[in-house]
Chain A
Amino acid sequence: MSRYLLHVVFSVLYIVVVMYVVPFTVFSKCCDLALYVYWVIAVLLYLLYVGMYLRFVR
């Protein structure tokens, strides 16, 4: 599988699982700002990944 296709598959899975599924399941009853912090960290990690992908891979 090419690196480009891997990037597409990984990204789609990341968006579906990390951004949609986990917040609606794991954090569905959570309190404080836990979900808020989770979403922000999830985006930061993806930003880091895209930075590395654009810089070193593609």
Chain B
Amino acid sequence: MIFVIGTYVIAAVLLYFVLASVVATVARRYLARGSPEDFYIASGRVGGFVSAMTYAATTYSAFMMIGLVGYAYATGVGALGFELIYLVSTLFLLSSIGLTLWRLSRELGFTTPSEMFVKFFGWDRLGIVVTVIAAVSLIPYSSIQLIGVGLLLHAITGGVVPYWFGLVVALVFPLFWGVVAGFRSIAWTDAVQGMVMLGGSLALLSWVLLWGFGSWSVFVSKVNVLGDLLHVPNRFWSVEVFVAFTLPWAFFAISNPQVVQRLYVPRDRASFTRMVLYFALFGLIYTVIVTLLGLMVRVLAEFGVVEYVDPRRRDLVTPTLLRYVPVPIAVVVSVSIVAAATSTLNSILLTLSSMVARDLKYMTGGRLRPEVEVRVCQLFIVLFSLITLVFAALRPGYIVDLAVLSSTLLLPLAVMTLLALVDTRSRYLGKLATIPLIASVSTTLVLAYVRKVFAHYIPALTLPTTALLTSLVLYLVVRALAR
């Protein structure tokens, strides 16, 4: 049975990748050849719907259908609050700072987040520091996406499909989409992937509701079996844990380069507004579906309808549930998880590569020809893909630690962006701007290592607070000294 499902899943994933590749190839027709701006951000001429879908598909990774379902199962309604606080904070940041960054990207002409820092702080080499911080944070995060696909395909085929096959399949196609037409092909495939993600999760939720409960009212009548999982605080979500979880994600919209770059793409003010609202609707619906799934599976597990998964092994909740699901739905859900992983992966690869290529342009004093810059970007998409593949294949322990830390390590970028918008004299800081950036990221990394050894003595909230405060205080000190 598992082998049959696995065969269908592999066939569906390959078919899906081929269809998405057709979309990417069509997108290539609209590419302005030899234009880095067109390759990185489609010349900032993307409509509201596609902007929203690429923003959503980039933001919501395989974590949703694997991690968040497990969190809702293990920790209850607090998981919904954790994810919705991210959504509300993002809405706030997009409607305030996001709009300003979109306007500035047109006025100052920046196309990558590292270039944005160069313009904000007035030093050509600052982009390199930003790119290195982004790469250290995001390549492990990308590897985790790849590992997720490899493990899913390996598990769902009963071990028939080797782990490495999943890695290669999940990397080769997004790599092709990125190289073939840059942002345009990635945005178009993201739009398709976003719909697959939503459709797959909705199909699974509908099936669980009808199969497990028969109707919504039966689910509501049984939900009280969850006890303290229905409120906060509970056995998992203390105030401190809740704040520590939500704080790094609250700044995601201005800390993570792959989503910051998406702020530059809407073609006009109306498209930007549509991007924000459509993305928020997508996020709300997807979050509700995913967390309801986790709660429903937990109720079914408490009544012995499905196998009880130990909450400490919460990542196994979705794979366990898929064993009960009819083959067509299992296939659709598996494809939707692969879509979520690859849509995040390809966006990160393109953003990092475009940052390197643009840094190189600044390092050569602007003498890099546009077509060469595009080639450099394509080359780095391949290079970063290979590094991601190696990390995913070897799975060193520190990769997981760095991936978990990624949102915290990027917090100083958010603080510096905020300060640059507030401080009218930030562009006079020049190379001094590297001090708060490097110092705060290094301090957070060291503290994370110390916390791993002495976990009980250092509260969870310490890491994001340190990243935020160190960058803020050091910026103010450097600013005062520079005066």
Question: Interface of A with B (CB < 8 Å)?
Answer: 4, 7-8, 11-12, 14-15, 19-20, 23-24, 27-36, 39-40, 42-44, 46-47, 50-51, 53-55, 58
- In B213-251, the 8 Å CB interface with A consists of 220, 223-224, 230-233, 239, 242-243, 250
Tell me whether B280 is interfacial, beta carbon within 8 Å. Answer: yes
Scan B109-148; emit 1 where CB is below 8 A from any A CB, else 0.
0000000000000000000000000000000000000000
Chain B interface mostly helix, strand, loop or mixed?
Answer: helix
Q: Of B95, B281, B284, which is in contact with the most chain A CB atoms at under 10 Å from its CB?
A: B95
- A residues less than 8 Å from B280 (CB atoms): 47, 50
Tell me whether B89 is interfacial, beta carbon within 8 Å. Answer: yes
Q: A30 touching B230 by the CB < 8 A rule? A: yes
Show 19 residue pairs from A and B whose CB-CB distance is below 8 angstroms, ordered by the A residue.
Answer: A15-B85, A23-B231, A24-B242, A27-B232, A28-B231, A31-B231, A34-B230, A35-B81, A36-B80, A36-B230, A36-B291, A36-B295, A39-B77, A39-B80, A40-B80, A42-B88, A44-B284, A51-B273, A54-B272
Q: B288 touching A35 by the CB < 8 A rule? A: no
Contact flag A7-B95 (CB < 8 Å), given A19-B84, A20-B85, A46-B88: yes
User: Closest approach, in angstroms, between the C-beta of B195 and any C-beta of chain A?
Assistant: 20
Tell me whether B277 is interfacial, beta carbon within 8 Å. Answer: yes
**Bound Cα distance A36, B88 (Å):** 15
Q: Told that A19-B88, A28-B232, A47-B280 touch, could you supply 7 new A-B pairs with CB distance under 8 A? A: A7-B95, A35-B81, A35-B231, A36-B295, A39-B84, A53-B95, A54-B276
**Bound Cα distance A5, B291 (Å):** 34
- A residues less than 8 Å from B472 (CB atoms): none
Q: B231 touching A30 by the CB < 8 A rule? A: yes
- A residues less than 8 Å from B92 (CB atoms): 11-12, 15, 50
Scan B269-285; emit 1 where CB is below 8 A from any A CB, else 0.
00011001100110010
**Bound Cα distance A24, B92 (Å):** 22
Tell me whether B424 is interfacial, beta carbon within 8 Å. Answer: no
User: Closest approach, in angstroms, between the C-beta of B477 and any C-beta of chain A?
Assistant: 25
**Bound Cα distance A11, B125 (Å):** 35
Tell me whether B96 is interfacial, beta carbon within 8 Å. Answer: yes
Q: B96 touching A8 by the CB < 8 A rule? A: yes
**Bound Cα distance A31, B277 (Å):** 31
Tell me whether B99 is interfacial, beta carbon within 8 Å. Answer: yes
Contact flag A43-B239 (CB < 8 Å), given A7-B96, A15-B89, A24-B233: no
- B residues less than 8 Å from A24 (CB atoms): 232-233, 239, 242
